[in-house]
């Protein structure tokens, strides 16, 4: 007759201290997810936890917009030939194809936000104050991507990411602004990758 195993006794002081760990002591659950997505989803969960705990300020409400869910399709005539600026073209040239701006601008609507630019630090790559940027939060930022980033104590900024040879920096596209260098324990939150820029001229 086998003996029933005795329950293991938890040693006093054993285990992780309350309020520690990558989620700051928040309640956690066990989930199943694709192995290929493990690291990126854990990083997203950690950053969202930090924002809830006030370690990163929320993005400014007057600069952030979200695509409308189930937005109606609006087909716009697209020119079938290249047209030189300043030269009129027959109307027939614009009727060969239809373009929906939602399909053109949004790779994944739920992970996309629109961000209105303030400042002149990126004018060298055509991003001006007042432009609306299309930000994909699901894309993994890489070296030389233009990104929306958050810096503790400073807020949100749009810059070109330099991540090469051990150097991490946010680079402006305007010689009047200085690069932002990151090293050691400095925190940098990459909100998403800029995939488009919308301008209005009138």
Residues 121, 138, 199, 200: which is the catalytic one?
121
b/e 115-130 (16+ beta carbons within 10 angstroms → b) = bebeeebbbeeebeee
Strand partners, 64: 115
Is position 159 annotated as part of the catalytic site?
Answer: yes
Q: Of the listed 96, 159, 199, 200, which one is catalytic?
A: 159
Among all residues, which ones are annotated catalytic? 121, 159
């Amino acid at each position: 007759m086998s003996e029933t195993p005795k329950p293991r006794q938890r040693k006093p002081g054993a285990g992780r201290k309350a309020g520690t760990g990558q989620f700051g002591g928040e309640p956690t659950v066990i989930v199943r997810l694709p192995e290929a997505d493990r690291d990126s989803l854990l990083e997203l969960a950690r950053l969202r936890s930090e924002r809830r705990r006030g370690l990163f300020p929320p993005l400014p409400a007057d600069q952030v917009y979200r695509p409308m869910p189930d937005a109606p399709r609006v087909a716009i005539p697209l020119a079938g030939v290249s047209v030189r600026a300043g030269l009129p073209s027959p109307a027939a040239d614009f009727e060969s194809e239809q373009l929906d701006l939602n399909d053109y601008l949004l790779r994944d609507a739920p992970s996309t936000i629109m961000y209105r630019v303030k400042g002149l630090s990126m004018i060298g790559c055509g991003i001006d104050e007042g432009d609306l940027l299309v930000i994909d939060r699901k894309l993994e930022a890489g070296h030389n991507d233009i990104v929306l980033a958050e810096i503790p104590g400073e807020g949100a900024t749009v810059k070109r990411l330099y991540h090469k040879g051990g150097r991490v920096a946010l680079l402006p596209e305007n010689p009047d602004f200085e690069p932002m260098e990151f090293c050691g324990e400095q925190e940098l939150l990459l909100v998403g990758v800029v995939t488009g820029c919308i301008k209005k001229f009138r």
